[in-house]
Amino acid sequence: MEAPPLPEALPLLAAGGAGLSPERRAALGASLPLLQRDYRFERVCFWGCIQGVRGAYYIVEGLGPDRAAPRSRLYSLNCLDWSLLTPATKEMFELAEQVKGRFQGDPSFEYSLSEINAEAAARLMASGKEPVFKEEARLIATIEQIDKEVGIVPRGAFVKTPCGSVHENRHFEGLSLVEAKKLSSYFHFTEPVNLKNKTLREKADLDPSIDFLDSLENDIPRGSWSIQLEKGGAVVVLRSLLWLGLTFYHVPMTKQFGYVYFGTGEKNLDLPFML
């Protein structure tokens, strides 16, 4: 969710439990413009908060002209001092998926690899390194996994140029109320998977400039999204049941949309048995 409309957008998500204290809002309002200037980002988005046992991680993303390009992510423990996160590696993803339980809220906290993955621990010991997995690495992998699996945008909000870059669609004026209530009107904002498997006949009705992403209607397991009308039908809210705490909102017939995550950073692996 972009930083400028954050104060107006958070009340729209309040029913889902998303929120920041007045002190945190004030701190973000003061630090994000400086962050954008220092790192020369075109825009800065407030991604959300991962709540740990002893503290919380507040996350922001820095964007460039190409919205599909890898994003710069930073975290803070107080919404004032920010640290840049490195891109996640394949090993980070593998180890993060095996760590169970809550985040501690301390980026220097170390998980014992011998309890998580004995093979990975043996490899590190053989190379002379300590068999530990830092919480900061888990944080990096978790943020990227959430963005990949449940980071979404409305259909038509972005366009893909013939050169392959992705930009905001200046002609996007929001979804109609009818379209806004359909899962097929929302796309995963990540590299498509299902789209590549569609037949030529299925692709014939698609507009390649805006239909270049995977739709939510094909998500597995089915039923992993809750879609509701709130504020008297003026706002459409989607909540992920796979990553509890991810909330997306869109005001139909306007350009207002975005998502934010307020949760523990734990995937709901029991979802298939709950549906």
Window from 60-69, 116-125, 127-136, 148-157 with minimum mean pLDDT: 116-125
Query: Which tens digit of pLDDT belongs to each residue from 137-195?
Result: 999 999 999 999 999 999 999 999 888 889 999 999 999 999 999 999 999 998 888 77
Decide if 70 contacts 120 (C-beta within 8 A). no
Per cent of the chain over pLDDT 70 is: 84
In whole angstroms, what is the distance from residue 87 CA to residue 73 CA? 8
46 bridge partner residues: 60
* pLDDT exceeds 60 at position 211: yes
In whole angstroms, what is the distance from residue 122 CA to residue 117 CA? 9
